[in-house]
Amino acid sequence: MELQLSGMIPPVVSPLTPDHRPDIGAVRRLTAHVRDGGASALFVLGSCGEGPTLEPAVASGITRAYVEAVAGSVPVLAGVGETSTERALRAAREFEQLGVDALVVMAPMYFDTDTDGAVVRHVTALAEATSLPLVVYNIPHLTHHPITPRALREVAAIDSVVALKESSGEWDTYAALAEAASAAGLRVFQGAEALIARSLAAGADGAVPGIANVVPGLAARLVDAGLSGDSTQAAALQAQLDDVCGVYRSGFWLTSLKAALTELGIIGSTAGQALTPPDADGLTEVHRVLVATGLVEVPA
């Protein structure tokens, strides 16, 4: 596979209209925002993008909108997070037809079967069904199927598997998977914001931070500093990024992220109906963090 991923890849949110349809104008604004900030690719339909929960037609509409907005300037990666391999195959084929450049494959999310075997069968089936490069995505607190180093070593032998995105948030888990991935020649990406600088110092190829929806430039500078070996600068930028991540503490993390983007005038706040929106105190806290980090000015 020719795709060589590196750098800062934002897992972009899915902008929705109040009636829960794709908000095309907001997709274009967010695409420009993260591209101008230094994104090396875009990851759509991940956890930030509500990929596993959107109606299939809405997920396809969001994907199409991002592909069109990017217009070939950077790769677009589409998340495939489904309860079964059968559903994942349907999604993968559709996203390939929509023109994405790679698929980010989570473990199947429902039945509690033998973890390693399920992961290997799942990734193998997707590799056989599509010509796209695959990124293996470990996010066990949401899939309830951890991808182990053993399973990763087996699927890494598949030609189309090119990278690992690790989002457990646990350093020991990350380190073990990163070692297995690197030994197999895969690129390695950290998905947990708090571990970006540490991961880059340990040899990661980049990061996929949700907070980059809000501060893509800061996230890109952090990744660049880490990749260049400037640990002092990376540590300083990591601290700044941690401060912006304070928006997550205002309520449910995803709706708080969308609330921050709403205050910045980039998207609307609509999210999945089951997701708790920030209350008045939560919105106040989002505003406080944006002001404290210099992203919103206080009127004179």
CATH number at residue 138: 3.20.20.70
pLDDT band of 2, cuts 50, 70, 90: confident
User: Is residue 290 domain-resident?
Assistant: no
User: Is residue 294 domain-resident?
Assistant: no
**Separation between Cα atoms, residue 252 and residue 124, nearest integer Å:** 34
Structure tokens at 40: 């090396």
pLDDT band of 300, cuts 50, 70, 90: low
**Residue 144: its pLDDT value, please?**
87
Tell me which of 66, 137, 174, 248 is the catalytic residue: 137
CA atoms within 13 A on the CB side of 298: 6
Range of the domain at 109: 7-234
User: Is residue 191 domain-resident?
Assistant: yes
pLDDT band of 115, cuts 50, 70, 90: confident
User: Is residue 284 domain-resident?
Assistant: no
User: Is residue 19 domain-resident?
Assistant: yes
58 labelled binding-site residue: no
pTM (two decimals) = 0.96
Structurally, the chain folds into a number of domains equal to 1
User: Is residue 1 domain-resident?
Assistant: no
User: Is residue 252 domain-resident?
Assistant: no
User: Is residue 282 domain-resident?
Assistant: no
Q: Is 258 a catalytic residue?
A: no
Tell me which of 66, 165, 174, 248 is the catalytic residue: 165
pLDDT of 114 strictly over 80: no
pLDDT-wise least confident of 25-29, 51-55, 138-142, 295-299: 295-299
pLDDT tens-digit readout, 240-294: 999 999 999 999 999 999 999 999 999 999 999 999 999 999 999 999 999 999 9
Q: Evaluate whether 78 touches 46 at the Cβ level (below 8 Å).
A: no
Structure tokens at 253: 């993390």
Smallest Cα–Cα separation from 208: which of 254, 168, 165? 165
pLDDT band of 87, cuts 50, 70, 90: very high
pLDDT of 237 strictly over 70: yes
Q: Is 248 a catalytic residue?
A: no
